[in-house]
Amino acid sequence: MLGLYQHLDRRYYVALLTAGRFHGAAHQAPMVFQVIADAPERNITVGGIRINFHVSNLVEGAAMVRRNTPTGTIAIATPETTAFDIVRFPAAAGYWNNVATVLIELVEEVDGDKLLEGAARVTRTDVQRLGWLLDFIGEHRLADALAPALAGKRLLPTPLATYRTTDGAALDPRWKVLVNTDVDPDL
């Protein structure tokens, strides 16, 4: 199914909740097959499976693993790339409660050194949000591994939820995240 997309010379990888499921984060099984691609593509249904495409200019250089399937080989985001992607696309990941839930299930597969490497390809605000979430769920080891990505950099306060006002939001002193929504993981 994705081989056709590859034939069009587009870069893609299986991402978000679908990738999380491949890495053992299956508490909230995705209702669709999620893909991040380097160019816009309309969502499709193939063989009864809904494929949702999300566009990113960060596909090139994303850490992926290749897996064999009955229909061929597919590229799947690594656990570290998946962690950043669910923070970058919170709506596609079920918003912050579900993002935190998926992270709780995913962290066993996340390598701190690889997470730090992945931080170089995303925005500071993505690193801030992921760092805050890792601390929030009690994964201080991974949060500490990620922190050097921001060392010595000027951090602007960034809202956790960009779609909400920051009026009255508490500012996390470590990550400079304005916590403007409640996060309640489902575990």
Confidence at 3, pLDDT banded by 50, 70, 90 = very low
pLDDT at 8 (0 to 100): 59
The 10s digit of each residue's pLDDT in 93-124 is 999 999 999 999 999 999 999 999 999 999 99
Instruction: Beginning with the edge strand found earlier in the chain, give each strand of the sheet holding 72-77 in spatial order.
Output: 44-46, 49-55, 33-37, 12-14, 72-77, 64-69
Q: Is the pLDDT of residue 1 over 60?
A: no
Distance between CA 156 and CA 176 in Å, rounded?
A: 7
Q: How many CB atoms lie within 10 A of CB 129?
A: 25
Tokens of 141: 């080891």
Q: Taking a C-beta distance cutoff of 8 angstroms, is the pair 67, 58 a contact?
A: no
The 10s digit of each residue's pLDDT in 124-139 is 999 999 999 999 999 9
pLDDT at 71 (0 to 100): 77
Write down the pTM of the prediction: 0.91
What are the structural domain ranges in the chain? 3-179
CA dihedral 20, 25, 26, 27 (to 10 degrees): -130
Q: Is the pLDDT of residue 87 over 60?
A: yes
Q: Is the pLDDT of residue 2 over 90?
A: no
Interaxial angle between packed helices 112-119 and 79-88, expressed in degrees from 0 to 180 and rounded to the nearest 10: 50
Q: What are phi and psi of 175, to 5 degrees?
A: -100, -10
